């Protein structure tokens, strides 16, 4: 799975969790806070998206790397299991489905907006705020006949407040979200409830400045509740949602609008948003980076001969892991390090290109210690699935896996609790490696360059 797919999944999960959290807080917030503060709680959704897009915390791990030594001749050749490169068929099909859904939603949005504009041109739509870059207030031709002058005044104040608060921009962003992320039901839930809270916040803003016009405001709402025409890109009086009128009238009747109380509630809501967004960012797993200290290798090097216990463990590991595979023209370099018993460091350096898998196994006594630390890689685009594990006397190795991007590091836990530090790099195949791959052809080869005996 490539970085783009991982990011899309993370963003959609973040949106879903944020929407569910706001919906859970919303009933309590509506009883305890000003409607403008309730509306601000929806800032948690973009805050959660930013938390997912912000680079994670960095965990620095210090590992010891030996100074390079002259490798000995290739010594062990065994068959391996090779995976085919990832097919792009699924990605193309998914992109086509997304494009069709996005286009359908754009056409549906355009049709609804065109219907409203046509009705407005005939004087049959409004009152509403129309437009995004240059919003304007649209009124029906019978506006003066339907509403008394005081009612006309509060309605115009309501629409002007929408413009002052940049609500048309927010609604346009919601519409764009609905088209791009049409497959996420929580985006549509977000749009519905945010629009309701937006209207309630606008009501509170107007009545905070005109507290004596509460009755006039309620009468204007009652007159307009039967005339509802959806307006995707704008602000419509009243909101185009199921039964919002009773909630808004109830708010007018029982919730006094006070400037100081409103500001305190908004400060509380913003504080909650910041705390929850910070918690979401902190909950992300850290990104491991490795600091290496170079030291000279100890001991002497010897060949890993075919038929030895270590060679049989290598065979079992590749049978269990499925082997390694890389994209054409790429070389994958991996270093795995673990601190074993008695303070011994065990490491493996892996290089995979073409049909070649080269190992450099370090810090391991193959006579008295029953385990080897081995790894296999499977490249899928710009990401690599790494499988690492011990191979010993047991029939099947216990494997741990992790997916890393090129140039990244990570940490995995083995079945016995040991933590393995991984450092990955992907580069173009070199001319020497390309010549070696062409020489071997399609014949898969595993070559163990050297094993250090303590």
Alpha-carbon Rg of the chain, whole angstroms? 32
Say how far residue 224 (Cα) sits from the centre of its chain.
42
Q: 388-412 b/e with 16+ CB inside 10 Å = b? A: bbbbbeeeebebbebbbbbebbbbb
pLDDT band at 429 (very low <50, low <70, confident <90, very high): confident
Structure token digits, residue 106: 């754009």
Q: Mean of the pLDDT values across residues 45-49?
A: 91
Summarize pLDDT for 70-112 with one digit per residue, the tens. Answer: 333 333 333 333 333 445 677 788 889 999 999 999 999 999 8
Bridge partners, 445 (sequence order): 356
| Percentage of the chain lying above the pLDDT 70 cut | 70
Q: Mean of the pLDDT values across residues 439-453?
A: 64
Summarize pLDDT for 253-306 with one digit per residue, the tens. Answer: 555 545 566 677 778 888 888 888 888 787 776 665 544 443 333 333 334 455
Whether the pLDDT of residue 168 is over 80: the answer is yes
pLDDT band at 323 (very low <50, low <70, confident <90, very high): confident
**DSSP class per residue in 4-30:** HHHHHHHHHHHHHHHHHHHHHHHHHHH
Whether the pLDDT of residue 420 is over 50: the answer is yes
Whether the pLDDT of residue 349 is over 80: the answer is yes
CA atoms within 13 A on the CB side of 258: 8
pLDDT of residue 77: 33
Contact (Cβ atoms closer than 8 angstroms) between residue 246 and residue 252? no
Residue matched to tokens 């949106």: 15
Report for 183-197, 384-398, 405-419, 440-454: range of highest mean pLDDT = 183-197
Whether the pLDDT of residue 448 is over 90: the answer is no
Whether the pLDDT of residue 22 is over 90: the answer is yes
The pairing of beta strand 300-302 with beta strand 445-453: antiparallel
């Amino acid at each position: 799975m490539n970085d783009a797919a991982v990011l899309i999944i993370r963003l959609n999960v973040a949106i879903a969790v944020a929407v569910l959290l706001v919906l859970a807080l919303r009933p309590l917030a509506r009883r305890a806070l000003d409607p403008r503060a309730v509306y601000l709680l929806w800032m948690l959704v973009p805050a959660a998206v930013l938390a997912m897009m912000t680079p994670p915390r960095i965990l620095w791990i210090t590992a010891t790397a030996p100074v390079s030594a002259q490798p000995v001749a290739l010594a062990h050749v065994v068959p391996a299991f090779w995976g085919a490169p990832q097919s792009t068929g699924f990605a193309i099909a998914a992109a086509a489905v997304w494009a069709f859904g996005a286009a359908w939603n754009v056409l549906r949005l355009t049709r609804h907006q065109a219907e409203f504009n046509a009705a407005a041109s005939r004087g049959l739509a409004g009152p509403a705020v129309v437009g995004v870059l240059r919003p304007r207030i649209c009124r029906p031709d019978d506006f003066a006949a339907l509403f008394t002058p005081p009612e006309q005044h509060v309605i115009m104040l309501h629409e002007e407040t929408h413009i002052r608060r940049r609500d048309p921009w927010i609604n346009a962003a919601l519409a764009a979200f609905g088209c791009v992320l049409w497959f996420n039901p929580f985006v549509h839930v977000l749009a519905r409830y945010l629009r309701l809270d937006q209207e309630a916040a606008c009501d509170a803003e107007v009545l905070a400045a005109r507290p004596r016009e509460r009755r006039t405001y309620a009468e204007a709402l009652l007159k307009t509740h039967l005339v509802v025409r959806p307006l995707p890109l704008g602000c419509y009086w009243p909101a185009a949602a199921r039964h919002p009128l009773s909630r808004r009238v109830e708010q007018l009747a029982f919730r006094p609008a006070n400037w100081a109380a409103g500001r305190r509630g908004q400060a509380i809501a913003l504080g909650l948003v910041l705390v929850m967004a910070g918690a979401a960012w902190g909950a992300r797993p850290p990104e491991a980076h490795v600091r290496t200290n170079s030291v000279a290798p100890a001991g002497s090097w010897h060949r890993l001969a075919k038929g030895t216990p270590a060679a049989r463990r290598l065979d079992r590991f590749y049978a269990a892991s499925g082997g390694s595979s890389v994209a054409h023209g790429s070389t994958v370099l991996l270093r795995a390090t673990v601190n074993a018993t008695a303070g011994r460091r065990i490491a493996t350096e892996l290089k995979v290109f073409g049909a070649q898998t080269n190992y450099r196994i370090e810090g391991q006594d193959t006579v008295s210690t029953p385990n080897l630390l081995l790894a296999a890689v499977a490249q899928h685009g710009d990401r690599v699935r790494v499988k690492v594990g011990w191979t010993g006397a047991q029939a099947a190795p216990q494997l741990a896996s992790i997916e890393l991007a090129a140039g990244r590091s990570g940490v995995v836990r083995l079945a016995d609790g040991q933590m393995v530090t991984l450092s990955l790099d992907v580069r173009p195949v070199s001319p020497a490696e390309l010549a070696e791959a062409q020489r071997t052809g399609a014949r898969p080869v595993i070559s163990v360059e050297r094993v250090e005996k303590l």
